[in-house]
Amino acid sequence: MTPHFSAYLDLVRIACAVLVVLSHLAHSPLVSAYLWPFSYVGNEAVMAFFVLSGFIIAYVRHTREKTVQDYAMARLARLYSVILPAMLLTLVLDVVGTAVNAAHYAGARAFSDGNPQVAYGLSALMLNASWGIDQHFGSNGAYWSIPYEFWYYVLFGAWAFFSGLPRLALTLLAALVAGPRILLLMPVWLLGVALYHARTLRRPAWLDAMAAIGGLALLLWMLRADASSLGKAGVLGLEPDGLAWQYLVGCCIAAHLFGAPRFTHLLDRLFQWIRHPMQWAADSTLALYLFHLPVLHALHAVLARGEHSAAAMALVVLAPFAVALTLGHWCEMHKRPLRAGLARALQRLRPAAEPRP
């Protein structure tokens, strides 16, 4: 993977995280009048995340993570270095927000109304979307996609690092625990894996141009039709956010990324200019994804009875990004220590698990 394309993937990842935040801000009574068109891009941004995730996982498996231990420790550290702080932040902000304005949380669009202890426990174990379960912790409705990615990591790892009967048994076991709802969206994630393996295919420049421009153009047309019909559009006979729609969105993203590497060198000057802030932002995308909703709900609880001033609108828009960029950097700093701690814990468990003579 060239440095130009790697930087472009970071840029796409940042854009997707920002679009998810804007899709939730579009439902804010403070700024919905200005941001309402973005209310139709949240699910599509998550599909793009899935494609990106599949590509990156295939890349690190091929280049860096050669053993199942390296792969597992890297994935767990990446996720839980952000998930655990997100759970704590959500708990604290939900308690404060409920104390200030309980009515807001009673009718909150993304608030989980199940047993809080069960919701937090299932979410921590990545079981909150398996089979008929539909839970997330507190006001953090964005967490819905995290167990999807987790089980895609597990399924990919079971298939990539094992062979024969263990491969089949572990893959089937992971699929059984994940459940059909998670498995139904896995083809979108696998598009990213296929995209990585297709990167070396020889093809003419015009085909790359058609894929890069055509994939993006079709996606933008679909989104425009969806927004102009207030979420009720049927494009090519597909309903927005339905399974077929999500597959087509994934194909559009994959097609664009298939052709983009040939042209990303044209952005070299831009990438050099914004390299450091872009890297900071890219490292904070998961934090932005998992921190923004509890921050928004707490702010809305506090500001619900106040005037819709310019200062209040600016606070609602900017606060999620400020929190994510600061706490996200802290999470990134603790990712490697967490990975090392997990590796040490595994090493201590191994002697205990070995049979005694």
Residues facing 236 on adjacent strands:
none
Q: Answer for the pair 233, 226: CB distance below 8 angstroms, yes or no.
A: yes
The answer to whether the Cα torsion of 309, 310, 315, 320 is positive or negative is positive
| pLDDT at site 50 | 98
| pLDDT at site 356 | 45
| pLDDT at site 190 | 98
Q: What does the pLDDT profile of the chain (357 residues) look like in tens digits?
A: 788 899 999 999 999 999 999 999 998 888 888 888 888 889 999 999 999 999 999 999 999 888 999 999 999 999 999 999 999 999 999 999 999 888 888 766 556 666 888 999 999 999 999 998 888 898 999 999 999 999 999 999 999 999 999 999 999 999 999 999 999 999 999 999 999 999 888 899 999 999 999 999 999 988 887 655 544 455 555 655 688 889 999 999 999 999 999 998 888 888 889 888 898 899 999 999 999 999 999 999 888 766 678 888 999 999 999 999 899 888 888 888 888 888 888 777 766 544 444
| pLDDT at site 275 | 86
Three-class DSSP category at 273: helix
The two three-digit tokens of residue 211, written as one number: 């894929």
Taking the C-alpha atoms of residue 117 and residue 97, their distance in angstroms, rounded to an integer, is: 18
Q: Sketch the domain layout of the chain as residue ranges.
A: 3-347
Q: To the nearest 10°, the Cα dihedral for 149, 44, 38, 12? A: 70
DSSP letters along 112-164, please? --S-HHHHHHHHHTT-TTSTT----STT-GGGGGHHHHHHHHHHHHHHHH--H
Cα atoms in the Cβ-side hemisphere of radius 13 Å centred on 178: 25
